[in-house]
Structure 1
Amino acid sequence: MHVKYVLMFVETEQYRKEWEAKDQAERDAAFEKVGRWFAEHAASITHSTQLHPAAAATTVRLESGYEPIVTDGPFLEGKEVVSGYVEAELDDLDEALRMARSWPACPVVEVRPAL
């Protein structure tokens, strides 16, 4: 039986600065590595997406007894931002961690089992 895991790719401020400093050839090489990673794990990945930057977020705050408050921007201003994710059907957490360890892009991957 497989378990569904979500691997969330997290950019740091330093990673974003380094990415923006890359020339097009360096970016193309990085995209190629990511493409290979997706190809290597295609049999397990059930869904994936890249997110727009956190500045594009709209947050809805739902507090008991109050009207919902809608604000432009992310839920939390942080030094780390989820930039995308994959859902994968895997045997266990060890397999999810092996997959996460091989991610060639942003420096943090949060792994969570999904319901």
Structure 2
Amino acid sequence: MKYVLMFAETEEFARDLEAMSEPERQAAFEAVGRWFADHSAMITHHAHLRPAETATTLRLTGGDALITDGPFVEGKEVVSGYAEIDVADLDEALAVARTWPGCPVVEIRPIT
């Protein structure tokens, strides 16, 4: 079964990352790289998203299209990347997500 893991940064996580020394930040990025390498057999695609402020949002309402700069919602959590995985079931997807060393929120959704 295929799932998408959406990695969401919190404001606190972003502040903590910014406060790290360069060697600490490099170690954090290397941990994420190892996670991708360790799970490469089940990851079918992944990407890191540009910051939320680079988004363009299109709202389709009543046949009209409203285009705005920025994310579709202002929030304290922002999706910063994703990985598509092919695993046996939700339990295995949860087990993989529990090992994620990056930002503190992972949303898991099945892909149909």
TM-score (structure 2 length as normaliser): 0.98
Q: Does 1:104 align with 2:101?
A: yes
Question: Who is 1:42 aligned against?
Answer: 40
Matches within 5 A, 1:1-115: 3-65=1-63, 67-115=64-112
Task: Read off the aligned partner of 1:72 and give its amino acid letter.
Answer: D
CA drift of 1:45 comes to: 0.2
* 3-state SS of 2:61 partner: coil
* 3-state SS of 1:62 partner: strand
CA drift of 1:23 comes to: 1.5
Question: Gaps (5+ residues) in structure 2?
Answer: none
Count matched residues: 112
* 3-state SS of 1:106 partner: coil
CA drift of 1:31 comes to: 1.0
Please give the alpha-carbon distance, in whole angstroms, between the structure 2 residues aligned to 1:61 and 1:96: 32
Please give the alpha-carbon distance, in whole angstroms, between the structure 1 residues aligned to 2:39 and 2:62: 42
CA drift of 1:22 comes to: 1.1
Task: Read off the aligned partner of 1:52 and give its amino acid letter.
Answer: R
Please give the alpha-carbon distance, in whole angstroms, between the structure 2 residues aligned to 1:42 and 1:59: 32
TM-score (structure 1 length as normaliser): 0.95
Segments of 4+ moved more than 3 angstroms: none
Question: Gaps (5+ residues) in structure 1?
Answer: none
Deviations 1:48-90 (A, max 9, x none): 000011000000010124x201000110000000000000110
Q: CA RMSD in A?
A: 0.7
